Homo-oligomer: A and B are copies of this chain.
Amino acid sequence: MLPERLIFDHHSAKMKDNLIAHINKFVELDEAEIQQVCDSVNVVAVKKKQFILKADEIYRANYFITKGCLRLYFINRNGNEQITQFAIENWWITDYTSFETGKPSVYYLQAIEDSEVISISKKAYEELLLKVPKMERYFRILLQIVHTASMRRFEYFRDQTDEERYRHFVSLFPGFVQRIPQYMLASFLGFTPQFLSKIRGKKVKP
């Protein structure tokens, strides 16, 4: 029987393969570069409801999800959770404001399901970008994608009623909606869980 450490290393290597596969969709890494990426990151398992970080803490890392689902939220002045982002497989997530400035965040980062996450520390990230310029390209491309996604999201918030935004979101991501409780979806879409329940109770016009 293998010692615990080796089992973990084997598992860990498999997680890292997911990240490498994702990077290779955008840039072509050679063996040495793959090694440098793998040496820069760590694999972490988080249980459902476990927090990776909480408000008032500093986001010293960026997180890539290989399995599961996380949410990023803050508490508004009425004391309600406001989810600003979900992250599922093959997404990076962090509070970039805190990550960049080194100042405490207002955000909570919590697992919605048992999840596997790859983390890269701020320091390792900066060093990796200098050592492997292809990673500048990789993150530049990802950030362009993120930017277009948030522009799109903004459009929806400005051009649709809450009810329309709900129906639209469900039609776009029917599978994802199954994975999360309703109150989280309501929070993400910007209204109360009671209102979501009322929408669902309504018969859709034939």
Binding site for B on A (CB under 8 A): 74, 76-77, 82, 84, 95-97, 100, 106, 129, 133, 136-137, 139-140, 143-144, 146-148, 150-152, 154-155, 157-159, 190
Contacts and interface: CB of A to CB of B under 8 A. Distances in A.
This chain: copies in complex: 2
Contacts of A77: 159
Contact of A148 (B97, B133, B158): B97
A151 B93 CA distance: 12
A95 B136 CA distance: 22
Contact of A136 (B76, B84, B96, B137): B137
A147 B145 CA distance: 10
A182 to B, nearest CB: 18
A137 to B, nearest CB: 5
Contacts of A74: 155, 159
A84 B151 contact: yes
A95 B95 CA distance: 24
A84 B144 contact: no
